[in-house]
Structure 1
Amino acid sequence: MVTLVIFIVVHFTEAEQFALLLSKAEPKWLFLAILLQIGTYLCAGFIWNQVIRSAQHRVPLGALARLSVEKLSIDQLVPMGGISGNLVVLQTMRRLGLPNWLAMEALLVDILSHYTAYAIVTFLALSILWFYHDITNIICYLVGIFAVILVIVPITILWLLAHRNNQLPLWLLRFHPIAKASETIKSVSPERVLSPRMLVITSLLNVTIFLLDAGTLWTMMRVTNYSVGIMTTFVAIVIASIAGTISFLPGGIGGFEAGSVSALALLGVPIETALTGTLLLRGFTLWFPLVPGILLVRHDVNIKL
């Protein structure tokens, strides 16, 4: 809970601005935004569910959607490149009765499909910007840096699967989490993890999450009484997500906002409106699920924050 308190104190101004903006919003737009965000958690649950069902196991979709909220919250509070949230996923899946190897398979498919979807939406966003002649040097730098991550992560997973039976150096095996992960990966099925059908379905679900977030930003722009196209908010979400990812800060705070506002302004949205819409979006994607997610983690995984 200490981590949560520190996080809230550090970002108190952003939370305060969100609360102020929220008090002036029309209920119908807020309700729509909530529905869209619930859709993102259900999609995340469906991704894991695809892998679990392919191995003839069953877990309620509601439990997996709940797990996606927990993962999001932990990743915001403990910025370790998604490692902290993934550890929660593995622990919770084991608590739900899944074997270690299946929990690992679900996690690997999730990561691979996430980066595949990232590549797809990045290409689409750049194509839209190119069509409107709005690709700037800064965007090129951002995408260039992100492309390195986009390549390294999947290649690392493929290498681990190809060499899963190789013995790790003894000094690495002294670390219990690494030794345990090494043993678990040996039981993973590369055929299931790298199944084209599986990756297509899960990648499309991840693309859907981007679209739902773009819809949420579009809704937030409506809250500000500004009409904007869904393609504009889609580009903003993608650029903001890239900027947030390479910032390596909790929840991408700072980088995400700068990326979103810059992209919206580039596509003709007034800066003040872009900033207001972005702050409202962050409230729904960060602040709303944060406290419930942390409470769920404390209950399910029994860890102190």
Structure 2
Amino acid sequence: MVADVSRSASTSEGVTPSPEAVLVNLPDHPHATLGMMAGWGAGLLVLAGLVTFILHFGDFETFLTTLRRADPLWLAAAALCQLATYGCAAGVWWCVLRRTGAARPLTSLLSLALVELFANQALPSGGVSGSIMVIRGLVRRGVGSPAAITALLVAGLSYYTAYLLAGLSAFVLLWHFGDLSGAWLSLSIAFVAVVVLLAGAVLAVTRSRGRFIPHAVLRWQPAIRFSALLRQVRLDTIRDGRVVFEAVVFQCAVFLLDAATLWCAGHAVGLALSPASAFMSFVLASVVATLSPIPLGLGTFEGTCVGMLHLLGGGLETSLAATLILRGFTLWLPMLPGLWLIRREMKAMPTGATSPQGTAQA
């Protein structure tokens, strides 16, 4: 039995909050920050131990020399690749909002793209954390709740689709190189199962507009509010193959640009790395990090990436240097602006604020 969402979402005074207010003020878990910091601490310890372990078998002086002699032109190319990922992430939201009639300039969505990409790495939630923060930002930018929640769901579906395509392509490349061992095969099965399960859940909830959410789940107040929002989904946009295709293309471009960043970082430190090898190393490291509970994938991503690069013929020192340069561009450099933008986007909409109303269509 499914609870009466509209009745349950009402306030104690009998007044039902606007969808925009509900969306912006979705509550955060009171211990989320503490848990995230604890996870970061554990991840940093794992990363420090990993670097120490790798350099135990390599040469520390060679590693430092490799970093100092990194080619600035290749580093600049890596930086440009990372900047392009934010444009592609913003493009996902832009193409959906354009279809719903709530288009916003691409430049205004770039800061939200940084928030999304950083939060998705910082918080192990399968991409949900960044999407929730971005959708709050969309509402505060005057996007109606039907368009905002539709953009959230299309972004989620396109992300999982692109991730599945990238992951399967990486495992096919691993098989082609003759290195698909039993452990990697088991990991590929786990990865496909997790991604398909998440994508299937998003699709089912989207198409049913929350009608299939169990009654027990709807006893939780955030679930009640989210279910109320799902009733406003623009199904005409969800069913628009062109919009979904464009969103998947943008999401795939993010994976390709991240892999290109690793390729540039490898060449910067003198690592002869093919585009296919860079793509495979990056995606497989991302898969391992995704299946790990450690925020940011600290240690798990680096260990897998270094291992793959070394397996493909790179030295330990150059493989570690290329991986740390990649993580510097994708994680550490965006951290301060990412944290600042997340803090800004987390500010609640002022009481009584309104935003344009969209219309949900069947």
Relative to the length of structure 2, the TM-score reads: 0.75
Cα separation, 2, equivalents of 1:11 and 1:93: 33
Cα separation, 1, equivalents of 2:42 and 2:201: 37
| Pairing partner for 2:288 from 240, 243, 258 | 243
Counterpart in the other structure of 1:266:
311
* Alpha carbons 1:247, 1:255 under 8 Å: kept: yes
Cα separation, 2, equivalents of 1:210 and 1:82: 14
Is 2:324 aligned against 1:279?
Answer: yes
1:171 is displaced (CA, Å) by 5.2
| Pairing partner for 1:224 from 249, 269, 273 | 269
Q: Which amino acid aligns with 1:130?
A: W
Q: Which amino acid aligns with 1:11?
A: L
In structure 1, stretches of 5+ residues that fail to align are none
Change in Cα spacing, 1:155 to 1:165, as seen in structure 2 (3 Å) is: closer
Change in Cα spacing, 1:144 to 1:12, as seen in structure 2 (3 Å) is: closer
| Pairing partner for 1:299 from 335, 341, 344 | 344
* Alpha carbons 2:272, 2:314 under 8 Å: kept: no
Cα separation, 1, equivalents of 2:146 and 2:47: 40
1:257 is displaced (CA, Å) by 1.3
Cα separation, 2, equivalents of 1:9 and 1:56: 45
Is 2:255 aligned against 1:210?
Answer: yes
| 275-284 or 84-93, larger mean C-alpha shift | 84-93
Change in Cα spacing, 1:73 to 1:129, as seen in structure 2 (3 Å) is: closer
Q: Aligned residues, how many? A: 300
Cα separation, 1, equivalents of 2:68 and 2:144: 46
Is 2:197 aligned against 1:152?
Answer: yes
Cα separation, 1, equivalents of 2:238 and 2:189: 28
**Larger fraction in helix:** 1
In structure 2, stretches of 5+ residues that fail to align are 1-32, 52-63, 349-362
Cα separation, 1, equivalents of 2:215 and 2:258: 44
Relative to the length of structure 1, the TM-score reads: 0.88
Give percent identity, aligned residues only.
33
Cα separation, 2, equivalents of 1:76 and 1:150: 16
| 145-154 or 258-267, larger mean C-alpha shift | 258-267
Counterpart in the other structure of 1:183:
228
1:29 is displaced (CA, Å) by 2.0
1:296 is displaced (CA, Å) by 1.4
Q: Which amino acid aligns with 1:84?
A: S
Q: Which has the higher contact order (CA 8 A, sep 6+)?
A: 2
Counterpart in the other structure of 1:11:
44
1:154 is displaced (CA, Å) by 1.4
| 154-163 or 276-285, larger mean C-alpha shift | 154-163
The RMSD of aligned alpha carbons is: 2.6
